[in-house]
Chain A
Amino acid sequence: MGTTLTETKTLVGQSVRRKEDPRLITGTATYVDDIQQPGMNYAAVVRSPHAAARIKGVDTKAARELPGVVAVFTGSDVAELGPVPCGASLPGLRVPYHHLLAQDRVYFVGHPVAVVVAHDRYIARDAAERVEVDYETVAAVTDSEKALAPGAPAVHPQWPDNLAFTFEQNGGDFAQAARDADVVVRQRITSQRLIPMALEPRGVVAEWRSGDKALTIYSSSQIPHLMRTLVAQILGIAENRLRVVAPEVGGGFGSKLNVYAEEALMGFVAMKTGKPVKWIESRRENFLATTHGRGHVDYLEIAAKKDGTILGLSLKLIQDLGAYHQLLTPAVPTLSVLMMPGLYRFRNIHATILGVFTNCVPTDAYRGAGRPEATHAIERIVDCLAAELKMDPAEIRFKNFVHNDEFPYLTATGLSYDSGNYAAPLEKALDLVSYSELRNQQAEARAAGRLMGIGIATYGEICAIGPSPATPAGGWESATVKIEPSGKVTVMSGVKVHGQGEETTFSQIVADELGVDMDDIVVLHGDTTLVQYGIGTFGSRATAIGGTALYFAVQDLKAKIKKFGAMMLNSDDVSFVGGRCVCNRSGKSVSLAEVAGASHRALALPPGTDPGLVATKFWEPPNFTFPFGAHIVVTEVDRETGGIKINRYVAVDDCGRIINPMIVAGQIHGGVAQGLGQALFEQAVYDESGQLVTGELTDYAVPKATMMPWIETGHTVTPSPVNPLGVKGVGEAGTIGCSPAVVNSVVDALSPLGVRHIDMPLTPEKIWTLIQGGAA
Chain B
Amino acid sequence: MISQPFEYSRPGTLAEALELLSGGSTKPLAGGMSLIPMMKLRLAAPEHLIDLSRIPGLDAISEGGGSIRIGALATHYGIESSALIRAKCPLLAETAGRIGDVQVRNSGTIGGSVAHADPSSDYAAALLALDATVHIAGRRGNRSLPYAEFLVDTFTTLLEPGELVEAIEIPAENPSTGSSYQKMVQPASGFAIVGVAARVARIAGKITFARIGITGLGSKAFRAVNVEALLLAGNAAAAAAAAGDGIEANSDLHASSHYRSQMVKVYCARAISTALSRAA
- Give me the interface of A with B, judged by CB distance under 8 Å: 121-122, 125-126, 129, 282-284, 640-641, 643, 680-681, 685, 693-694, 696-702, 704, 706-707, 763-765, 768-769
Contact = CB atoms under 8 A, between A and B. Distances in A.
B261 to A, nearest CB: 12
A765 B184 contact: no
Contact of A699 (B1, B4, B188, B266): B188
Contacts of B236: none
A768 B265 CA distance: 14
B41 interface: yes
A341 B189 CA distance: 39
5 contacts: A129-B42, A282-B2, A284-B1, A693-B253, A765-B259
B189 A699 contact: yes
B4 A704 contact: no
B255 A765 contact: yes
B188 A697 contact: yes
Nearest to A128: B2
A384 to B, nearest CB: 27
A644 to B, nearest CB: 11
B76 to A, nearest CB: 15
Given A282-B1, A768-B259, A698 B189 contact: yes
A767 to B, nearest CB: 11
B187 interface: yes
Interface in B39-90: 41-42
Q: Give 10 nearest A-B pairs by CB, closest first.
A: A701-B188, A701-B187, A282-B1, A698-B189, A125-B2, A765-B259, A640-B266, A681-B187, A699-B188, A698-B188
A284 B5 CA distance: 19
Given A640-B266, A699-B188, A701-B188, A283 B1 contact: yes
B101 interface: yes
Contacts of B29: none
B18 to A, nearest CB: 29
A442 B42 CA distance: 52
Contacts of A640: 266
Given A685-B253, A706-B101, A641 B41 contact: no
A284 B2 contact: no
B13 interface: no
Contact of A121 (B2, B37, B41, B256): B2
B263 interface: yes
Contacts of A680: 187
Interface in B2-59: 2, 4-5, 37, 41-42
Contacts of A125: 2
Given A641-B263, A704-B101, A765-B256, A122 B188 contact: no
A284 B40 CA distance: 10
B188 A284 contact: no
A681 B188 contact: yes
A104 B186 CA distance: 41
B25 to A, nearest CB: 16
Interface in B226-280: 253-256, 259, 262-263, 266
A769 B42 CA distance: 37
Given A126-B4, A641-B184, A694-B188, 5 more contacts: A284-B1, A707-B187, A763-B254, A764-B184, A768-B262
Nearest to B269: A640
A284 B2 CA distance: 11
Contacts of B5: 122, 126
A699 B2 contact: no
Contact of A700 (B101, B188, B259): B188
A542 to B, nearest CB: 32
B122 to A, nearest CB: 15
A701 B184 CA distance: 15
A696 B253 CA distance: 13
A587 to B, nearest CB: 61
Contacts of A122: 2, 5
A67 to B, nearest CB: 12
Interface centre among B187, B254, B266 (most CB of A within 10 A): B187
B4 A284 contact: no
B66 to A, nearest CB: 37
A707 B186 CA distance: 12
Interface of B: 1-2, 4-5, 37, 41-42, 101, 184, 186-189, 253-256, 259, 262-263, 266
Contacts of A643: 184
Q: Which of A122, A126, A706, A764 has the most CB of B within 10 A?
A: A764
Nearest to A695: B41
Contacts of A696: 41
Nearest to B1: A282
A121 B4 CA distance: 11
Nearest to B2: A125
Contacts of A700: 188
Contacts of B42: 129
A768 B255 CA distance: 11
A202 B259 CA distance: 38
A700 B189 CA distance: 8
Contacts of B262: 768
A381 B4 CA distance: 52
Nearest to A706: B101
Nearest to B184: A641
Contacts of A283: 1
Nearest to A643: B184
Contacts of A765: 254-256, 259
A284 B41 contact: yes
Contacts of A697: 188-189
Contacts of A707: 187
Contacts of B255: 765
A765 B259 CA distance: 7
A282 B1 CA distance: 5
A694 B186 CA distance: 13
A641 B1 contact: no
A403 B4 CA distance: 64
Contacts of A701: 186-188
Contacts of A702: 188
Contacts of B41: 284, 696
A126 B2 CA distance: 9
A246 to B, nearest CB: 23
Contacts of B101: 704, 706
A680 B37 CA distance: 26
A455 B5 CA distance: 53
A603 to B, nearest CB: 62
B49 to A, nearest CB: 15
Nearest to A120: B2
A707 B101 CA distance: 11
A282 B189 CA distance: 19
Nearest to A640: B266
B73 to A, nearest CB: 24
A701 B255 CA distance: 14
Residue in B1, B186, B189, B255 whose Cβ sees the most chain A Cβ within 10 Å: B1
A641 B256 contact: no
B1 to A, nearest CB: 4
B212 to A, nearest CB: 18
B154 to A, nearest CB: 16
A693 B254 CA distance: 11
B269 to A, nearest CB: 8
A125 B4 CA distance: 8
B7 to A, nearest CB: 14
Contacts of B186: 701
Nearest to A704: B101
Contacts of A763: 254
Contacts of B189: 697-699
Contacts of A121: 2
Contacts of A764: 184
B137 to A, nearest CB: 31
A81 to B, nearest CB: 27
B224 to A, nearest CB: 18
A186 to B, nearest CB: 29
A430 B226 CA distance: 51
A126 to B, nearest CB: 7
B6 to A, nearest CB: 11
